[in-house]
Amino acid sequence: MSAPVLDVRGLAYAYPDGHQALFGVDLHVHRGERVALLGPNGAGKTTLVLHLNGILTAGAGSVAVSGLPVEKKHIQEVRRRVGIVFQDPDDQLFMGTVRQDVAFGPANLGVRGAELDRRVMAALEQVGMAEHVDRPPHHLSFGQRRRVAVATVLAMEPEVLVLDEPSSNLDPTSRRELADILRALDVTVLMVTHDLPYALELCPRAVVLSGGTVVADGSTYDVLTDDALMRAHRLELPFGFDPRTLGPGVGTGQGTAPRRTPDTGGSVASPGTHTNPGDLT
Amino acid sequence: MGAAHGHRLHHHGHSAVHRAPAHLKILVLVGFVLLVVATPREWYAVFAAYAAVVVGTVLVARVPLGWVLRRMVVEVPFLVFAALVPFVAEGPRTEVLGLTVSEPGLVAAWGLAVKGTIGVMASLTLAATTEPTDVLVGLRRLRMPPLLVEIMSFMLRYLDVVTADLGRTLTAMRSRGCEPRSPRHWPVLARSLGALFIRSYERGERVHLAMLSRGYTGTLPTTTGGHEHR
pLDDT at A276 over 50: no
Domain segments of chain B: what residues? 16-137, 145-213
Strands lying side by side in the sheet with A205-210? A82-85, A160-164, A188-192, A34-38, A205-210, A213-219
pLDDT band of residue A248 (cuts 50, 70, 90) is: low
Distance between terminal CA atoms of chain B?
A: 26
Rounded CA separation A121/A135 (Å): 14
pLDDT band of residue A26 (cuts 50, 70, 90) is: very high
Best mutation site among A108, A112, A142, A164 for testing chain B: the one with the most B CBs within 10 Å? Answer: A108
Size of interface A-B (CB pairs under 8 A): 95
Task: Count CA within 13 A, CB hemisphere, residue B97.
Answer: 2
Residue A188 in contact with residue A161, Cβ under 8 Å? yes
pLDDT in tens, B66-84: 888 888 888 888 888 888 8
The burial of A238, by beta-carbon neighbours within 10 Å (0-12 exposed, 13-18 middle, 19 or more buried), is given as exposed
Closest in B3, B157, B212 to A96, CB measured: B157
Q: How many CB atoms lie within 10 A of CB A223?
A: 28
Chain A residues within 8 angstroms (CB to CB) of chain B? 50, 53, 55, 76, 79-80, 82-84, 86, 88, 90-92, 94-97, 99-100, 103-105, 107-109, 112-114, 116-117, 120, 134, 137-139, 152-153, 156
pLDDT at B4 over 60: no
pLDDT at A263 over 80: no
pLDDT in tens, A119-177: 999 999 999 999 999 998 888 999 999 999 999 999 999 999 999 999 999 999 999 99
A116 contact residues in B (CB cutoff 8 A) = 223, 225
* pTM: predicted TM-score of the whole model, two decimal places: 0.73
Best mutation site among A120, A138, A153, A163 for testing chain B: the one with the most B CBs within 10 Å? Answer: A138
Rounded CA separation A127/A116 (Å): 17
pLDDT band of residue B2 (cuts 50, 70, 90) is: very low
If DSSP codes are grouped into helix, strand and coil, which group holds residue B182? Answer: coil
Report the chain B residue with the minimal C-alpha distance to residue A92: B210
Query: Tell me: domain A30-47+72-280, CATH 3.40.50.150, correct?
Result: no
Rounded CA separation B175/B153 (Å): 34
Rounded CA separation A275/A219 (Å): 9
> Which residues, in sequence order, are CB contacts of B45 under 8 Å at separation 6+?
none
pLDDT in tens, B86-106: 888 777 777 777 777 888 888
Q: Which amino acid is at B222?
A: T
Cβ contact A105–B160 (<8 Å): no
Cβ contact B229–A100 (<8 Å): yes
Residue A99 in contact with residue B210, Cβ under 8 Å? no
Residue A89 in contact with residue A166, Cβ under 8 Å? no
If DSSP codes are grouped into helix, strand and coil, which group holds residue A188? Answer: strand
pLDDT at B46 over 60: yes
| Separation in Å, CA of A198 to nearest CA in chain B | 24
Phi first, then psi, for residue B134 (nearest 5°) are -70, -35
A84: β partners: A162
pLDDT in tens, B187-213: 878 888 888 888 889 888 999 999 999
B149 contact residues in A (CB cutoff 8 A) = none
B225 contact residues in A (CB cutoff 8 A) = 103, 112-114, 116-117, 120
The region, left, alpha or beta by phi > 0 then psi within -120 to 50, assigned to residue A257 is beta
Greater confidence (B13 vs B197) lies with: B197
